[in-house]
């Protein structure tokens, strides 16, 4: 007569399956995170490549639109973000980039919506992406619209605006190369950008390629190269400046500062 499984045998099998599942879930999560990181890097790289093309038609200038905020207005993270959104919308309108390229894989809120408009369009101020900064239509990426025209390859131009990839920060250099950086002081508000409502990036993220390198790489700059602040920029013209929406005090061609 054929004997069935005993209760103990069934429990052993269930326990083995549970252990295998517990081992498999982290691996699946890791693969998914890597896939999202790769996809987001490709999206950012596509945008920066469009910026390079935009430079060719605009006297080597990076995309810049004010979104109703003059560059002489109060320097603040909120104003900086509006300028970044308006600049990216102008880029999308000029180069026909799809809206979905501005949304991260792990982003829960909608990406930018509506037809992108050029800053010269009469309806830009009332219906542009920049007017929806505080609501829906969030752009996943931070953009250093104040970077110098002659930015070197290791200057970070683009990066994650929020903590999409745990301790990793996907960023793009001026040469369109993908850089995966690591936050050095844990999750939290971006250094220099005070409120979590504006930014919730990895605090203290640095660009190691520009550490201790000045404008031409010929001298040592004190302090780390914080990519979301002016920390470590070390140039005379921004020594007393505050993070925000100015273009005069924008660091040098090598350092990283996205906003």
Is 243 inside any structural domain? Answer: no
Cα separation, 177 vs 109, whole angstroms:
27
Is 1 inside any structural domain? Answer: no
pLDDT at position 177 is 92
Is 41 inside any structural domain? Answer: yes
Range of the domain at 14: 8-238
Domain count, the chain: 1
Tell me the C-alpha to C-alpha distance, in Å, between residue 25 and each of 21, 22, 178, 209, 247: 6, 6, 28, 34, 47
Tokens of 36: 């999202």
Q: What is the mean pLDDT of each run of 10 residues along the chain (259 residues)?
A: 72 88 76 86 94 89 78 64 86 92 86 83 73 71 85 88 81 91 54 40 74 65 71 52 51 76
Is 70 inside any structural domain? Answer: yes
pLDDT at position 188 is 39
pLDDT at position 233 is 66
Cα separation, 253 vs 145, whole angstroms:
12
Is 105 inside any structural domain? Answer: yes
Is 257 inside any structural domain? Answer: no
Cα separation, 89 vs 127, whole angstroms:
11
Is 258 inside any structural domain? Answer: no
Contacts of 225 (CB under 8 A, 6+ apart): 206, 207, 208, 210, 211, 213, 231, 232, 233, 255, 256
Note whether 175 and 193 are within 8 A (CB).
no
Cα separation, 32 vs 54, whole angstroms:
33
Q: Which uninterrupted H or E stretch holds 143?
A: strand 141-143
- List, in sequence order, every residue forming a beta bridge with 178; answer none if it has no partner: 172
Is 246 inside any structural domain? Answer: no
Note whether 63 and 88 are within 8 A (CB).
yes
């Amino acid at each position: 007569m054929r004997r069935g499984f005993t209760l103990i045998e069934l429990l052993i099998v269930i326990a083995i399956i549970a252990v295998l599942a517990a081992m498999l879930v982290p691996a699946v999560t890791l693969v998914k995170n890597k896939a999202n990181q790769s996809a987001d890097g490709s999206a950012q790289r596509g945008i920066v490549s469009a910026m390079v093309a935009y430079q060719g038609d605009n006297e080597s200038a990076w995309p810049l639109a004010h979104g109703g905020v003059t560059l002489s207005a109060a320097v603040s993270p909120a104003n900086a973000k509006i300028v970044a959104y308006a600049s990216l919308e102008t880029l999308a309108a000029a180069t026909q980039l799809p809206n979905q390229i501005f949304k991260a894989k792990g982003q829960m809120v909608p990406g930018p919506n509506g037809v992108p408009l050029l800053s010269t369009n009469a309806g830009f101020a009332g219906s542009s992406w920049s007017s929806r900064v505080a609501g829906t239509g969030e752009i996943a990426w931070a953009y250093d619209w104040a970077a110098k025209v002659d930015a070197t390859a290791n200057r970070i131009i683009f990066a994650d605006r929020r903590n999409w990839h745990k301790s990793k920060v996907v960023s793009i250099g001026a040469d369109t190369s993908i850089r995966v950086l690591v936050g050095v002081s844990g999750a939290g508000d971006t250094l220099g950008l005070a409120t979590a409502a504006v930014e919730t990036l990895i605090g203290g993220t640095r660009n190691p390629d520009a550490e201790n390198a000045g404008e031409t790489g010929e001298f040592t700059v004190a302090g780390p190269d914080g990519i979301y602040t002016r920390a470590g920029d070390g140039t005379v013209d921004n020594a007393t400046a505050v993070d925000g929406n100015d273009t005069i005090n924008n660091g040098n061609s090598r350092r990283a500062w996205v906003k």
